[in-house]
Amino acid sequence: MIAEELKKIAGEIANDAETLEKYSRDASLFEIKPEVVVFPKDAEDVKKLVAFVGKNKKKNKNLSLTPRAGGSDMTGGPLTESIVVDFKHFDRIKAIGDDYAVAEPGVFYRDFERETLKKNLILPTYPASREMCALGGMVANNAAGEKTLKYGKTIDYVEEIKTVLADGKEYLIKPLNQKELAKKIKGKGFENKVYREIFRLIKRNYEIIRKAKPSVSKNSAGLNLWDVWDGKTFDLVKLFVGSQGTLGLITEAKLRLVPAGKYSGLLVIFMKDMAALPEVINKTLKLKPASFESFDDHTFGLALKFFTGFLKVMGVNIVSLGLQFLPEFFHVLINGMPKMVLLAEFEEESQEEVNRKIRELKRALKPFELSTKSAPTAESSKKYWVMRRESFNLLRHKVKGLKTAPFIDDVIVRPEHLPEFLPKLYEILDRYKFLYTVAGHVGDGNFHIIPLMDFNDQKQVDLIPKAADEVYDLVLRYGGSITAEHNDGLIRGAYLKKMYGSKIFALFRKVKKIFDPQDIFNPGKKSEAANLKTLLYKNLRKQ
């Protein structure tokens, strides 16, 4: 029925079984079949879609629009029973300037970077899924990754956006000074009303909003109210970044770019235990690495066991790859399996400076009697980055009979808490007898935990909400965030009230109501997510 009516709207639509099956999944635990998938060709199509849903919402309360870009989300963010809006036709890079680019949400990051590198520029906030993700998802999730330690998060790079709001009109959203804000809130249109009411909400609750900001370097939980107004600049862009399509549909973004590093290299640090971790982190951070990553013994063991799985990723033959991994095999034979492997990457203007920093870090770490290995060039570093980036895909494709279960996949605490936090985290995971890997951004205290489970075994499925409760309670006890960069989606939305408290959660709901009074945009996320146990019972993906 909806498909027939949507045929009157410009754009491409599909509701065949194969398409609906494809769009019923992302990289999360869930499977939710949409009624129809729409592929708008331009902003005019998007405006017509929003107007259509707004007009028909009263007679069909379940009618809604859920945006989708690359489909690599691990939270269920782009899943819906209603209309999926796929932005694949929004694949244009409209401009690349001296320090910025203007692009549409359907542009894949891999293609975007290929073009920006022609000017020696980069958007440095790409996630590990850089080969699969699109810019729309990076903005919607406030993505971050291995270079966040030096460069920050996506929210730090989005300067302007164009978005279609609930009235079916496209608007340019950008930072406003006090004079511009005063003019904006005096208008009588829907956009003016949004500015007026959001400004009033933030001003009235300024202190509790400011205090609610998590004291960690990355956070994509909830709605980013704390960075909208600083007393001088009012910036709704900060609210849209990380909002997962719940406030409007983004059609374009202006993104700040930075010069790409000319030379890079790693010092690989093998740790037998966690005792010296905070001191190692402090010594490393003093040298200002571009990245400081980690993976645990589970990930390292998986990489050594399935090293042939790196063939396609690394683009080398089996003999060459085997030779490359010989030092790692010998290291395990001689020293035993390390508890954690750290990758300290330096990105500098000369190879000499990269080498100097690697040598200086080795000297600084000498008192800890740690085993280290230098990989002073980008080429020699490649295998370690593949281990770090590809562990999730290895789990998905190499371990038979079990499925990846990303439900505690993005926790963050301050690095100084790691010696206490990590043993308690491992105790929970081991008590539940999960097969899992832990990898992440150790310099930020951000870890990605991916258990493997048999979804046909109801006893295992029943463990998911219990383990999630324990892990998130532990994270919040140390003042952390339940999601640093993957966002809430379906998997974590129900934990937002626990993280922020009822007052801030109520403000999230008010913000949603101001922007989206009819609940048109991606319902069931952020301010109104269902209980995890209920979602698992109803929407757990099939084997």
Indicate whether 227 belongs to any domain.
yes
Q: Are residues 186 and 312 in the same domain?
A: no
Indicate whether 540 belongs to any domain.
no
Q: Are residues 231 and 119 in the same domain?
A: yes
> In the chain, how many domains are there?
3
What is the dihedral sign for C-alpha 481, 443, 381, 439? negative
DSSP letters, 108-129, are BHHHHHHHHGGGTEE-TT--TT
Task: Compute CA distances 86 → 42, 252, 476, 523, whole Å.
Answer: 11, 14, 35, 16
DSSP letters, 418-477, are HHHHHHHHHHHHHHTT-EEEEEEETTTTEEEEEEEE-TT-HHHHHHHHHHHHHHHHHHHH
30 by DSSP, 3-state: which? strand
| pLDDT value at residue 296 | 83
| pLDDT value at residue 321 | 47
Q: 343, 342, 301, 346: which is closest to 325 by C-alpha?
A: 301
| pLDDT value at residue 86 | 97
Structure tokens of 199?
A: 């400004």
Strands 36-39 and 83-86: parallel
Q: Are residues 304 and 210 in the same domain?
A: no
Residue ranges of the chain whose pLDDT lies below 70: 1, 10, 302-336, 389-400, 543
Q: Are residues 210 and 105 in the same domain?
A: yes
Indicate whether 371 belongs to any domain.
yes
| pLDDT value at residue 385 | 77
Q: Are residues 121 and 11 in the same domain?
A: no
Q: 392, 466, 447: which is closest to 28 by C-alpha?
A: 392
Of 202, 228, 259, which closes a domain?
A: 259
Condensed to tens digits (0 to 9), the pLDDT of residues 2-37 reads 777 888 776 799 999 999 999 999 999 999 999 999
Structure tokens of 385?
A: 């980055």
Half-sphere exposure in the Cβ direction for 388 (13 Å, CA):
26
134 by DSSP, 3-state: which? strand
Of 88, 117, 137, which closes a domain?
A: 88
| pLDDT value at residue 392 | 63
Q: How many other β-carbons are positioned within 10 Å of the β-carbon of residue 514?
A: 18
| pLDDT value at residue 438 | 86
**Average per-residue pLDDT for the chain:** 90
Q: 195, 189, 198, 165: which is closest to 54 by C-alpha?
A: 165
Half-sphere exposure in the Cβ direction for 314 (13 Å, CA):
26
Indicate whether 267 belongs to any domain.
yes
| pLDDT value at residue 542 | 76
Of 210, 234, 259, which closes a domain?
A: 259
| pLDDT value at residue 516 | 98
Condensed to tens digits (0 to 9), the pLDDT of residues 199-220 reads 999 999 999 999 999 999 999 9
Residue type, 502: S
Q: Are residues 76 and 38 in the same domain?
A: yes
Q: Could you list the residue range(s) of the whole structural domain that residue 148 is in?
A: 93-259
